[in-house]
Amino acid sequence: MPAGPIRRVMRSERSAMRMSKLSTVAIVGAGPYGLSVAAHLAAAGVEVRVFGASMQTWREGMPNGMFLKSEGFASSLSDPEGAFTLGHHCRERGIPYADIGWPVPVDVFADYGAEFARRFVPGLDGRRVVRVARSGAGFRVELEDGDAVAVGRVVLATGIGAFARVPAELQGLPDAVLSHSSHHADYSAFAGRSVAVVGAGASALDAAAALRRAGAAVTLVTRRAAVRFYEAGRPRRPVDALLSPLTPLGPGWKKWLCCHAPGLFHALPERLRVRIVQRYLGPSPARFVRDAIEGHVPYRLNSRIVGAERAPDGRVALAIDRAGAGRDTLTVDHVLAATGYRVDVSRLGFLDTALVAAIATVDGSPALSRDFESTVPGLYVVGTPSAYSFGPMFRFACGAGYAAGRLTRHVLARGAAERRSGSRVGLPALAPRAFRG
């Protein structure tokens, strides 16, 4: 064959190889959202690379013995056929299960996620991602062992672990006497020790219950005037299907809209979206933990921590301002901050600084298109960081199906356009302040 045609064939093959890399999607995170997105993409014929330990947050950042706040029917991951639900998994394993009224043990949910990964994401790569940066028309994903892969698109499904929030009043304490609730699953090391749990949401009460089971002396410290539990509603009547439809978030038409109209939520003004997510469906503890707490764990209500210091004996002295009752001091062996999370993409340490600078944000959360794409073309974000764009449902596993379906359709459409044009299709990244939803 003459040299000219040979060079053209080689150029064509190199171009095909480049396009092959650009068609690959890397997913960072292997929790409910990452695994669901991977299952949908793979079923659509998209090459997927998923990085991270399967269900890591649920195994390492949730107390052993904890129950999910969501009902069984609202705690499934999403495969394209909707066939492998949590109920299906439990029936296969002989685990008692009910769609409603059955407390879902966190270990059962984590095992279900791992089995989902084995069935739908067989190529799961447990290595940790240490850097994601733009590279040509795509991205370079670097791994903890020094390996790196070139991909066309990246999905961030990292969960909430990186966004743990510790109040400023506690941040000067050393790690030996201060930790966040997301750092623990096994509380046995606290047996015989006194622990102040700061907070009164689901994480705080779950941690307090786990500490008590482990033999710790627990005191709950909260600014709230009362600890309010998420209670089950009255028994359902046939008419309630119309008056107050049942949804994965609970009964009610507002919740129905959150679950069935994420696109409509996305179209709302930015300020309204943020206000709804911040105020609606707060982190109230589930009813399942009430019996383990009330009457067993003392509450310090209306209490604001104004200072914390290491006592001479190595313990921690918390200065507490109690509304209407003056100040006092609580001295404990350890302080557990169960003070929730605040999304801030700049805290994802593996993201290249130039990449972070190109991501438009709304109060720290990424501003996303209707297809979960950030202002960096080809970079998608799912899970809790997408809640300001799509609503409170996306703080829970039940939002994974919508996210996976919508994202997959966009990737397929964008890939088809790229194949037709023979090059990477994308819009230039917008300056963060230029994005308005």
CATH code where residue 310 lies: 3.50.50.60
Do 36 and 153 have their domain in common?
Answer: yes
- Identify whether residues 148 and 99 lie together within a single domain: yes
| CA–CA dist 314, 366 (Å, integer) | 41
The residue among 327, 300, 332 whose CA lies nearest residue 313 is 332
Residues 37 and 154 in one domain: yes
Asked if residue 276 is part of any domain, the answer here is no
Q: How far apart are CA 211 and CA 338, in angstroms?
A: 13
Sign for the pseudo-dihedral over CA of 203, 206, 207, 208: positive
Number of domains in the chain: 2
Q: What is the model's pLDDT at position 233?
A: 56
Query: Does residue 291 form part of some domain?
Result: yes
Same domain, 177 and 309: yes
Tell me if 95 is assigned to some domain: yes
In a domain, 261, yes or no: no
pLDDT of residue 419: 79
Residues 315 and 351 in one domain: no
Name the phi and psi angles at 112, rounded to 5: -60, -45
Domain housing 102: 3-160+342-434
Q: What is the pLDDT of residue 325?
A: 79
- Picking from 319, 337, 355, the residue at the C-terminal end of a domain is 337
Which pLDDT value is given to residue 16? 38
Residues 214 and 322 in one domain: yes
> Residue 101: what pLDDT?
87
The residue among 69, 71, 65 whose CA lies nearest residue 108 is 65
Q: Is 66 inside any structural domain? A: yes
pLDDT, averaged in runs of 10, over the chain (437 residues): 43 40 87 98 96 95 90 96 97 95 94 97 94 95 97 96 93 95 95 96 93 96 87 70 85 91 95 91 74 90 94 94 88 96 95 97 96 97 97 95 97 87 51 40
Strand-strand pairing, 299-300 and 217-221: parallel
Do 70 and 154 belong to one domain?
yes
pLDDT of residue 21: 54
Q: Is residue 353 part of a domain?
A: yes
Check whether residue 20 and residue 83 sit in a common domain.
yes
> Would 417 be classed as within a structural domain?
yes
